[in-house]
Amino acid sequence: VPAYTKDKLCNLIDKRIGLERFQDAIGGTTRHEIYSRTLKHPQPSAKHPKDLLLDHEFCRLLKILEGAVSESVKGNTSCNDSPKEIGNSDPMVGQYKDLIREQDEEIQKLKRDNENLEKEKQEFQ
């Protein structure tokens, strides 16, 4: 469809279903028993068209293009922020950084206290 571009598709995936869920769906399809059976047998085994879940040609193309599609969607900057951008924009990351700083300061204080107690212990012996 000429109106759709890679960027529009990537935005659609990101906004509607999420990148992680999209990748899980593709991966889940390729791990499914019906996918494996359809890939091995080109002739459809369904007795009625409504029973046909996956087409052999679709499975073959998915196997060939799965990695490229995942990398393309994952590599697109509009779908996947770089770690630096995430670190600066996500408030949860900021809270975790603050918590880590506080814990580091507390660890340093406890180390100093421990050293002081070790010195006092040495003096009493």
Residues 58 and 70 grouped into a single domain? yes
**Model confidence pTM above 0.75:** no
Confidence at residue 20, expressed as pLDDT on a 0 to 100 scale: 87
pLDDT band at 45 (very low <50, low <70, confident <90, very high): confident
Three-state secondary structure call for residue 102: helix
Query: Are both 64 and 13 inside the same structural domain?
Result: yes
Domain that residue 42 falls in: 1-80
Our count of domains for the chain comes to 2
**48 plus 10 within the same structural domain:** yes
Asked whether residue 86 carries a pLDDT value surpassing 50, the answer given is no
Please give the share of the chain, as a percent, with pLDDT higher than 70. Answer: 86
User: What pLDDT is stored for residue 77 in this prediction?
Assistant: 45
pLDDT band for 1, please (50, 70, 90 cuts). low
Say yes or no: 67 and 102 in one domain: no
